[in-house]
Amino acid sequence: MSRMMRSVAVAVALVALGCGAAGAEQQPAKGKTMTEVLAASQPSDWRRLDPDNTMYLDFAAGRVIIELAPGYAPQHVANMKILLRQHYFDGLSILRVHDNYVVQWGDPDAGDKDKAKPFGEAKRSVAGEFSQAIAKQPFVHLPDGDVYAPQVGWSGGFPVARDPKQGQTWLTHCYGMVGVGRDNAADSGSGAELYVVLGHAPRHLDRNVTLVGRVVQGMELLAALPRGSGALGFYEKPEQRIALKQVRLGSELPEAQRSRIELLRTDTPTFTALIETRRNRHDEWYLSQAGKVELCNVPLPSRQP
């Protein structure tokens, strides 16, 4: 099997590693592999998820963990927390899996006033939070360019873009990002219907949708769901829909039921060194090095401590 094991490069999705080794260094590494950079990381390079900004989605295939981004979508995240505390999502369904695009869940009866699940204290309409003032947000710049935006990089662990002329910054539609389904009107979303990006980043959706977070664990469970055969990947028959068993805010779960996952900080020399390992691969298999890396191709590593 060794021949095949080496056939197509190294794992670039979620990486789980032990704690920082002795003799680790903080300088950006030249000539290192990603594995080496992560092995040399320090405890301070990692952060825990904030249970009050983490969403746990349990369904038949397993658990999906989403980190929320209140800094970029304060009103939507606040509304989602109201829905979450009411256990609004329990028993709703994955309604749509559109290949190379999105998986989406919500209330299948949302359009039927008599059958739709009540929103309780939550709002049915939240003004679009498509971008934010640059001044409010931290930013780590990726200097390799971008087709869609003047600048790209990371902010608090999320991939972002910026337009300094307009003074605006926004979350970007990379693989695993979570967005708010909406109707044609900018304020027609609420956070009750959510989608997750799968496939090649649909960056044309940037600034058209409120992004509210990112899947930090379990993306492979969503990505492997059967594609819907209806228009836009909707499941055509109700029995094809996939039920959500329980969806909870982390702070509502007993401590023992929360994940202890840690995420690599994006504002550290270790992350800068990791970017360099993605620009120029020093793994033995590579014959040619790209010299650059695209925003959505930089992994955001996690680990179980």
**In angstroms, what is the minimal distance from the CB of 286 to a copy of itself?**
6
**41 is a site residue for a copy of itself (CB under 8 A):** no
Provide the minimum distance between the beta carbon of 226 and a copy of itself in the complex, in angstroms, as a whole number.
Answer: 5
CB 52 within 8 A of CB 61: no
Figure out which of the listed residues 80, 178, 198, 264 binds a copy of itself, where binding follows CB under 8 A. 198
Amino acid at 196: V
The CB-of-276 to a copy of itself minimum distance in angstroms stands at 13
- Quick check: 193 binds a copy of itself (CB under 8 A)? yes
In the shown chain, the binding pattern of residues 7 to 26 toward a copy of itself, with x for contact by CB under 8 A and - for none, equals xxxxxxx-------------
Dihedral sign for Cα 6, 9, 14, 16, please: positive
Burial (0-12, 13-18, 19+ Cβ within 10 Å), 165: exposed
- By CB under 8 A, tell whether 261 contacts a copy of itself: no
Residues 52-91 that bind a copy of itself (CB under 8 A): none
- Residue 162 in contact with a copy of itself, rule: CB under 8 A: no
Taking the C-alpha atoms of residue 31 and residue 269, their distance in angstroms, rounded to an integer, is: 15
> Which range touches a copy of itself (CB under 8 A), out of 2-10, 62-70, 86-94, 244-252?
2-10
> Would you count residue 98 as binding a copy of itself (CB under 8 A)?
yes
Alpha helices in the chain (DSSP H): 2-5, 34-39, 74-85, 219-223, 269-279
Closest approach of a copy of itself to the CB of residue 302, in Å = 14
Nearest residue to 148 via CA among 129, 171, 115, 117: 171
